[in-house]
Amino acid sequence: MRRNTFVLALAVLTVLTGATQAKPRAVVVAKPRAVVELFTSPFCSSCPPADALFVELARHPDLITLVMPVDSWDRPGRKDALAKPAFTERQSAYADVRNEDFLYTPQAVINGAAQAEGSDIAEIGDAVAQTAGVLSVPVKAMPVGEEIVVSVGAAKGAASSGAMITVLPFVASREIPMRGGETLRYANLVRDIVPVGRWDGKPVKQKLPLNDYAQYDGIVVLLQAGTPERPGAILGATRLPIRPKLSALRPRQQ
């Protein structure tokens, strides 16, 4: 996919999300319009365009993008070192909620409530528009001393039946050499899925050890309805850089 295709794709998504311009990605997304998860694999021949698209979408200031390589493509003698069973389980849980009996890649899940082909910018844009307003609960994360304080606000409108607070540490960029001299690049590559608490509709705070996430570029905090086995809509989200904060406070290790 050529660069001008990406520019057009971002322009389409900008219109659909109501953003005024496509600027380089902000370091912190305080009030995102959408959380877009990509389930992918280096062994999937249809995935490179989606991987490349998500590199571009990661720069969009209104989006939180998350890339999760799944292990469903692994075979004896062929294993994706970046794939995690937890990512495959998450994709499978989304499929169960929709009563789908098969998984495919590349797949994008938008705000936990809609899905699209991961390389189809029009489908992704439609899903963003269809789920507009889902992220209605304020979620914040900030470093305080040696801790990360996660704050979740009160439910808006109808009383909440509860939701899970989940932390997803990520690496901002990762390049993987492929056969034939090509290079696969991921942006916002998730490395784990960490449940940290529940929310009952009332304001709540969670304190996390900063050192637990010091090896990552940042974390995304999701407030999501349902359970890990039956995930629902994402009600709120935020993104916090980690390494830049630590670099400002500590000497760089040689």
Give tens-digit pLDDT for 3-38.
Answer: 444 445 555 555 544 443 433 333 455 589 999 999
Average predicted confidence (pLDDT) for the chain: 87
Residue given tokens 């109501």 in the structure block: 18
**Does a structural domain hold residue 82?**
yes
**Does a structural domain hold residue 214?**
yes
CATH number at residue 139: 3.40.30.10
Give the pLDDT score at 161. Answer: 73
Largest CA distance in the chain: 55
Please compute the mean of the pLDDT values over residues 189-202 and round it to a whole number.
96
**Does a structural domain hold residue 64?**
yes
Report, in angstroms and rounded to the nearest whole number, the Rg of the chain calculated over CA atoms: 18
Over residues 130-183, the pLDDT tens digits come to 999 999 999 999 999 999 999 999 998 655 678 999 999 999 999 988 877 789
Among candidate residues 151, 148, 140, the one with its CA nearest the CA of residue 242: 148
176 φ/ψ sector (left φ>0, alpha ψ -120 to 50, else beta):
beta
Please compute the mean of the pLDDT values over residues 191-202 and round it to a whole number.
96
**Does a structural domain hold residue 123?**
yes
Structure tokens at 104: 């495919």
Helix (H, G, I), strand (E, B) or coil at 246: helix
pLDDT band at residue 2 under the 50/70/90 scheme: very low
> Domain span at residue 184?
3-249
**Does a structural domain hold residue 181?**
yes
**Does a structural domain hold residue 196?**
yes
What's the domain count of the chain? 1
**Does a structural domain hold residue 254?**
no
- Residue 51 dihedral angles phi and psi, to the nearest 5°: -60, -45
Q: Is the dihedral of CA 29, 225, 114, 52 positive or negative?
A: positive
Please compute the mean of the pLDDT values over residues 245-250 and round it to a whole number.
51
**Does a structural domain hold residue 79?**
yes
Over residues 210-231, the pLDDT tens digits come to 999 999 999 999 999 999 999 9
Cα(230)–Cα(214) distance, rounded to whole angstroms? 30
